[in-house]
Structure 1
């Protein structure tokens, strides 16, 4: 079964973060690389299981941005049961994102 990519708020992030594996994409609606990354994430979601993929608007969720020390966009962070596993900035390709999700 494929994973879906959905947009959430900072409050929703706090509810999801303590669950299982979670990839959070901090993005901006005005950012070109962020828009391209959203297409890559939708492609990743077709081929992976066991993770939730969510997008968080950088500009609309300043509290979450500050809490997790996000300094720019796009930034992706993979969490597992509330613990940060890995973080990467900038546009990434599908193999790198799958590697991140799988703990590499």
Structure 2
């Protein structure tokens, strides 16, 4: 069953990461690689199951960006039951993201 990529506000993230496996994409609307990663994540979402995929705008959620020590965009962080499992920076291809989630 496919999942849907959705954008959330920083305030929602703390609650969401405690509810299972969540992949968070920190992005900027002015970033070319971020836009390309958005398309890749939509493809990934069609394949994976058991993970929620969300995006957070780097520019409008500064407090959340600082709290999670995100230094650049795009940055993806995979959480499982509130714990950071792995973090990856930059534009990534679909196989790498699927491997990250598995």
* TM-score range normalised by the length of the shorter chain: over 0.9
- The residue that corresponds to 1:37 in the other structure is 37
What's the counterpart of residue 63 of structure 1?
63
TM-score by length of 1: 0.97
SS of the aligned residue for 1:12 comes to helix
User: Which runs of 5 or more structure 2 residues have no equivalent in the other structure?
Assistant: none
Cα distance in structure 2, aligned partners of 1:83 and 1:20: 9
Spell out, residue by residue over 1:32-84, the C-alpha distance to the aligned partner (whole angstroms, 9 max, x if none): 00000000000000000000000000000011100110000000000000100
> Who is 2:8 aligned against?
8
Aligned length: 102
Unmatched 5+ residue regions in structure 1?
Answer: none
Compute the RMSD of aligned alpha carbons: 0.4
Instruction: State how far apart, in whole Å, the 1-side matches of 2:101 and 2:64 are.
Output: 21
After TM superposition, the score normalised by the length of structure 2 is 0.99
Q: 1:10 deviation in Å?
A: 0.4
Q: Give the distance between the partners of 1:15 and 1:56, measured in 2 at CA.
A: 14
Match of 1:25 in 2: 25
